[in-house]
Amino acid sequence: MPDGSGNILDQPRQREPEAPDGALDRFRHGDLDAFETIFRAHQRIVYGWILRLVRDSGAAEDLTVETFWRIYRARARFDPAREFAPWARRVATRVALDWLRARKPEVELTAEIAAPEAIDPAVGAEIRHKVALAFARLPAALRITAELAVVQEHSHKEVAQAMGITVGAVKLRVFRALRLVRRDLEGQGIRP
């Protein structure tokens, strides 16, 4: 999990770790030592991925454990000829999406998502609050796709792999999310 060196959201993306030779094949066949090796190699990146989606460090820790539990249970479906990291991101995204769907939307969002600072700080705070409300009211699947593609600026291909959908579906979800946010803001009296 986090190493105390600062906010993981502020850190640059890390290079995907590589599992030792044969560890993925051994993992697929139930070798616990190989699973532990893979867990240690990928836990920080999976944690960071989930944290970016759920924006709650405590929940991200729990969801990282849940992700690796699901990965272990689904090990027979893993193809060791393929890369582990995209598969792990897809599982992590589904775990985060399940968690987001199960909870009520919260209004507080980071400044990354908020509108640009207005000249008057009071007006800027009100606009940020309304943007946060509109974003929080999005359906979980649209919110997580928009978060990955628009806010975190991941490529559509990377988002598609993580979500287990096509690039076209990513583009459609982002379009729908932005359209819903725009309509919501207009309903709140803001012209985006």
Model confidence over 135-154: pLDDT tens digits?
888 898 888 888 888 878 88
Same-domain status, 86 and 26: yes
Q: Do 28 and 94 reside in the same domain of the chain?
A: yes
Q: What is the mean pLDDT of the chain?
A: 79
Range of the domain at 91: 8-102
| Domain contains 1 | no
Q: For residue range 19-47, what is the model confidence (pLDDT) as tens digits?
A: 556 788 888 888 888 888 999 999 999 99
The answer to whether residues 28 and 57 belong to one domain is yes
* One domain for residues 84 and 137: no
Supply the DSSP string of 72-109, one letter for each residue: HHTGGG--TTS-HHHHHHHHHHHHHHHHHHHSPPPS--
Please give the structure tokens belonging to residue 84.
């582990």
Decide if 85 contacts 107 (C-beta within 8 A): no
**Does residue 57 lie within any of the structural domains?**
yes
Q: What is the CATH number of the domain that holds 181?
A: 1.10.10.10
Q: How far is CA 126 from CA 77, 117, 130, 133, 135, in A?
A: 48, 10, 6, 11, 14
Q: Is there a single domain that holds both residue 32 and residue 87?
A: yes
| pLDDT > 70: percent of the chain | 78
What is the pTM assigned to this prediction?
A: 0.57
* 98 and 70 in a common domain: yes
pLDDT at 113: 53
Q: Which of the listed residues 73, 102, 131 is the one where a domain comes to its end? A: 102
